[in-house]
Amino acid sequence: MTIAPEVERLPFGDFEGAVQALRDRGMRLSAPRRLILKALFAARRPVSAEEIARSAELELTSVYRNLEALERHGLVQHVHLGHGAGLYALVGAGEREYLSCERCGAVRVATPEELGPVKQKVTELFGYQTRFTHFALVGLCPECSSSSAPQAAGSTGTNRAASPRVAGPAG
């Protein structure tokens, strides 16, 4: 299992701010790192390392190595939105938490504060301090939960696409 690092998230609002944050941490901005950051800024949702490698025309091992370094330094976080590969997103202005529909693959991005009451209830009931930054809160989106013909996860109607539909704050 992949472990999400406990690091201080670096605030930045744009590409140049991210570059400056890297340099402030003493990191070089290599050509692959620059391409990976540009691919992450261009993405409007969390993306896989494979998608980044394709769009940036880089070797997959280089992408993984650089994403790991960027995550260790608080610029990137990875998240698991149900079944499939981990996805990567810029941290930027703040931490994001995720809700994922197990039927259609829709993803809702939320701030930790928006999910505060849910996390508080889990703490009250079980004593766990929870967060949904690494693993999404999984269930059915409003559209799927209101549909008249429920489908079991894994049926032919299930969409576990690598490109989830994302709603919420810019992710």
The pTM score is 0.73
pLDDT score recorded for residue 130: 87
What is the full DSSP assignment across 45-60?
S-EEHHHHHHHHT--H
State pLDDT tens for residues 8-67: 777 888 999 999 988 998 888 999 999 999 999 998 789 999 999 999 999 999 999 999
Span 15-90 CATH architecture: Orthogonal Bundle (1.10)
State pLDDT tens for residues 51-70: 999 999 999 999 999 999 99
pLDDT score recorded for residue 148: 53
Distance, in Å, from the CA atom of 127 to the CA atom of 44, rounded to the nearest integer, reads 35
Domain map (residue ranges) of the chain: 15-90, 97-167
Contact call for residues 100 and 137 (beta carbons, < 8 A)? yes
The label of the residue with tokens 């992949």 reads 2
Using the predicted structure, report yes or no on whether residue 123 has a pLDDT greater than 80: yes
Is 97-167 in CATH node 3.30.1490.190? yes
Q: What are phi and psi of 90, to 5 degrees?
A: -70, 145
pLDDT score recorded for residue 166: 58
